[in-house]
Amino acid sequence: MNINESIDWHRRAKLSIPGGVSSPVRAFQAVGGSPRYFVKGVGSHIFDIDGNEYIDLVNSWGPMILGHAHPAVLEAVQATTKNSFSFGAPNKNEVLLAEEILRRVPSCDRARFVSSGTEAVMTAVRLARAATKRNLIVKFAGCYHGHSDSLLVQAGSGVATLGLPNSPGVTVGQTQDTIVLDYNDFQSVEDIFSQRGSEIAALITEATPANMGVVPPSAGFNRFLADTAHKHGSLLILDEVMTGFRVSAGGWWGKYGPDEGWEADLYTFGKVIGGGFPVAALAGKAKIMDLLAPLGPVYQAGTLSGNPVATAAGLATLVNCTSSTYSQLDDNARDIGGGISDALSLAGVGHSHQTGGNLFSFFFRPSWVSNFSEAKEQNTAAFSVFFNSMLDQGVYLPPSAFEAWFVSSAITKEDVGIILSAATIAAEATATSLGTM
């Protein structure tokens, strides 16, 4: 596979952009080799600058749920851009998108748009502190909620990939009000709320963690978190930046919350609601959300928040995510994940195939992973071998062992067959590297 132009562009990028990338995992440091520079996407396939074609299992880390360049999304974007790209003023598309989000998540009364998941979470934390008049925030190791200072403590995803448990530049003062617990540990949550419940403004969790690889909540864990927080007058912030409107029409909460009998106080959304454009949102009950300016004293603003082009793309994406779309996503995730797991097992490669809705990932260790400490025990070198073999065969995976894999509804049966054929070869290459074949 010729990747000369990608290599040349990355060499050039490193002269003007730190590490040559605008987000760390893209640099391929965790898997070796050179990142691909993509120039086109159609449906389930993407094409790099050298003309190589790949089946996409990253999908821009989730937003391309319908596949690339979906006709309805293209039409909505083109119809909007011909009038202007931005006004910095109210527009109907943001209203329509907010209404669609609230229709899908009836536990929310209001939504406020921002431009990134980091900004959504940062604002939700500020709002929780204002609503409760408390300072402490409880989070879980391995859950990534963006790179705002107070939450960049024992985060997963790119931080784990680069081996940085905390980031320089984040001061003790900025993190002293953040308490970090092990995920899926009921007792530690009970203990900290028993000890300091009256000081805790909010507990924040990913609906299903997907930034240390996919580590689903234990049975009853999310309800336990909601009940415990509310018992002590604290709020539950449910980070659905990845899962929101991807695992179901109502996100993770919509799929599981009503049946399990719990709801959050604040939700953060991103990825899918922008359809590939930079849009995120926080949402919740009116009594909390209306503390935001201009109604209340909690300040938040953004020049491009609610951008008409971005919200048009997000609305078109959501409208076209039908019940059949979600069935297709579930089928694709099951067939691809299960088939790859079978290939690894046949080759004698120890692994754990883990799912959270239609998000999934593989830990190259033989036992189940339930928290960040266990996730870090996997064989990342084995993942690198598997990743590069799949890449050479035209299947693009997340370039990190600590990331979720994302399918689109555009993936075909033919695509699945190609992926699984590649996985057989990649599994054998991985087994050889481990000395098991």
Structure tokens given for 305 = 């928040």
- For residue 383, count other CB atoms closer than 10 A to its CB: 25
Closest of 133, 167, 131 to residue 150, by C-alpha? 167
Cα separation, 365 vs 5, whole angstroms: 36
Helix, strand, coil fractions of the chain, as percent rounded to 5:
45, 15, 40
Q: Are 289 and 128 in contact (CB under 8 A)?
A: no
Structure tokens given for 260 = 């399990």
> What Å distances lie between residue 135 and 91, 194, 201, 265, 332, CA to CA?
35, 16, 6, 17, 43
Q: Are 411 and 68 in contact (CB under 8 A)?
A: no
Provide the annotated active-site residues: 144, 239, 271
Cα separation, 24 vs 21, whole angstroms: 6
Enter the DSSP assignment of 292.
Answer: B
> CA angle, corner 429, sides to 407 and 54, nearest 5?
35
Cα separation, 80 vs 85, whole angstroms: 7
Query: Is residue 239 classed as helix, strand or coil in its secondary structure?
Result: strand
28 contacts: CB under 8 Å, gap ≥ 6: 34, 35, 399
Structure tokens given for 406 = 């994302």
Cα separation, 305 vs 388, whole angstroms: 38
